Structure 1
């Protein structure tokens, strides 16, 4: 009985665990979850009471009766054996005594003595046996009754505890019964409503009606929108497959079957855009584009396409609020998941994340509060403007479009080293001196935190319309007049003198680049101006200099104040001089980031940034829309110039930003051939890795994918080294091993 009772408790415990699991699965139904949890707790108490009952039964009946049987009953059995033995001996003595002949007096006396001794022993043993019988009878009565009485008291306590437990549970059960009655009524009403809807649907004409899907960004289950879409495969056949898509947790995912694990299409909706696609044969198509890939989707109708596009756009706009709630969770999990997968690889991770990026950026003057409303401790940034923002202002910036502001989180996103260095070069104070230069004169007050509509109007006026930029400081002279003014300014400073033979001194370096870093024109005056400017500099950029420390920047006295130049020329000159604030001011004045200087081989600001040797300047131009593949008059793009100069960090940056390494200049040289000829091992390695990765992705049909982990790790290492330890990459070409 005890063993069976214990088995019952084990099975009952498994049953209660099942009820607990059912309560967890019903977490969305408060009534079911609460009731099942309460009932499972009560049943667990009953299991505890049962366990106590069987423990007491073990002690009261099994232990006591086993002692009685093993000790007292054993003594009785021993006494019985002795009594039976002596009884047999007495019988034998009587038989022997009766068989002795009368004439054998000696045998008669011997038999008589044996019989007398045997009878005496028999009487003693018989008395002991009777004693043991009496003792056993007495103990049997007391031990059995005592054990049973203890057993019954254990049952009394068990049922009393159960009664008290369920007496307390009774009122709750009564209330639950009343709720169930109401639930039955509601279920019946819902059934009638559904039957009416079914009847209405059956009568409806579906020939022209489309299925309607609605999106809800505040849905309790986190799913903003879900439904079937056709997805074009990324393989060579471009097949279309119907999949179940959903927007949840700021991600776009799909499933092939209901029970399959979701496949993530877009990991972070904040970094993607969505647009109509009319250049395919199929109807109702739209495209979701992320920095690493694009996904072509097809809805069942035009209405559904519009609904999906609007759902994605709305999810992008609200992604900041959703991500803000996850920040605390990520902080608690400092060594994660997402898979995870990371604690062992942290030493290899070269991207700067989380609080380190936040702390470094907030140390810049003015960055401790939002650039637009002044709210303290901003956690977001505009990477092309170089400013920090609060979560509300970041959402408004996101709505402006990436051509005005590119928003990124300082705590949730990964930060490449060159991008973090760019943020530290600018800052709220610098940018506000440009974009809020006339705010006091105009009598405009900055919006306060919480004023959403005022913020939207202010931010649009500040960055889109640029109403507060001091446009009077920008010259209205065209580029040609600006260059003449530049030469005139040099004459006033005594920089232009007649120096014959100067071309022999510095021209070789310029020609080795395939482009003259200064003005080159048929106009002899401008040519002389350029020659004198060369003399004003100590030398052109070193061919093996990757990154020039800020404290060793060149003397800019050879140039006029950039504010007196045309905005395009101002950006052009400031890019060479590594003056990010002046570059930002030129862009605010309307400078074309891809402006080509017709008098310097159509060189662009990005090419000038390469010649200036600054990785951060190149990153700033790229973040503001500079074309990484725009060539000069000699067919050389930024990647060509960076390769010629041996700027490994810039080569790495341009390859990451999509530079075309197959492009050839007018002499038919591509960057790889230039690097091989110069015996620059690092650049050859980067170019060949990028080419190999590109060929691998094309062969596997992985268009838009970033590449394998090894390729990404190597480029992260070079980016980290170029930004933080440039001296490790500052190698002379003659010391590199030729390939």
Structure 2
């Protein structure tokens, strides 16, 4: 019974899982999804009650009675064997006593003594045996009744639980029954309406001279999706025989479309389109009346011709007119604009091709391990000093042993994000982030007061409790961070630190006039650097005397104001320090600001509510953006002008940052105060790479929504293209800076 009950629970659970799957498939129907989910939860509770019932049955009957059989009855059987043995000995003594001869006095006494002793032992064993029988009989009655009583109580509890469960569900079921009655009425009414509409459509179709297959006769040159016209056409084979393949007509009936001045077709809906004509401006279209088939037309290009057949004469006329209109529309475009677009699109294509040629797989395994361990201090665990660490905290930029990594993982991802250096894949920007920080840099920040407070750092052989307490005090409570932080930033590896007098006068950002190629005679000597445009040494005093606001990138020159953010401050707030360091691309100082409690989404109200992430974009560093994102920066927070990090990266032409933000879930549909989204800004700037990325991301998003692939990254082609851009942005950024370079040359 118990085995059958467990099989019943297993089958019932499979049925319940089927109900839940059906609820998920009905996600667009709220009534069905809600009720099926409710019923599946109730069935799950009943399955739990059944499991509890069978467990109690096993304990009350099977286990209890098996104990009685194996222990008590076994003892009784042992006593019975002993009684039977003594009984046999007594019988033997009686027989021997009867056989002794009277004249043998010695044998008579011996037989009498043996019989007396045997009888005495028999009486004793017999009493014990009777006692065992009585005890067993009484215990048998108690055990059986006790087991059955427990069995019945288990059923009583089971049915009480089921009754209570369905008592709570009963009002819900009655409400659903009322809704179903109304649904039946609505369905009958809808059926009548549909039948009436169907009859009306049939009457209209009978009066019109349209072919049943004329599904789309109109075309739209200005369609939002770029498709002027689409539909099924027969295509003649392009081989030497020029056949129509009559035996398998389905092989040559394809779904054609005119889009982006190209004629393409697909075999199936999800197949990649095949381009028939690259550029319709170089083609002509004509009727074909000299062949045996009807409704044919031919599209002729300089290299080949394509014979097509429509399903009716009206469809043929519509297709011919659509092709002619597309050709005329393409020619009406301004010649200089098309030439400019071709010049800018060809390098973009070249960048993709070169990226694919030099494409490398994501750094994984030993390569990532070797590169990260080369950083000073990374050859040993940051917290316990164990050699050859194989794990890392990507938001802190440190290496860890496996035991410390487990402790870091228990802190939560808002404190530490753990990843394997040998088992996980590493994106190039993340690997560069690890190489910018390291154990020595982070320990100088998080262990600054370690000697002052007198705490001993745990060793590799220390107990786990000791390591856990130390790591929690170090990163969560931050007990060893120097509270009174110096205003002088920590030096970035390989960076020369300016004296305080010069550091106070550092330029805050590039000017809009220089970025747009509109520099006048007021600043004739300008040179570019990693962090922006800085004046030459001859005019340094004049240019550095007044600090330029970072928002001047988007303001008219007459509206530029001095930025209060970069003024001298002996003890700036942690948020302000993070804000400054983000622009200056100083990751150690950013890590120090976060250690002192800086809010990663800190808003500078005096700088149009810009965030550190926006400042990182202006600074032009991809690694700085990645560091902030790994530490919880919101990629969709916008400033007062409605521009988020993606807007700013698009305006500045930072292709690598655009790629990074799109991968991190940036909303590219958001518009600024001028009503422009990033795509429209990129199109106006004729930045082909960014336009490509934004359009690919938008197409991928639409595809995932249409196919219900929520929470999934998209198809492999989309991921490969973004991987190529990430590789170029991290390893060959000069290939993505051609637009800024061309603007600088113009200026």
TM-score range, shorter chain: 0.3 to 0.5
TM-score, length basis structure 1: 0.46
Structure with bigger gyration radius? 1
The TM-score normalised by the length of structure 2 is 0.46
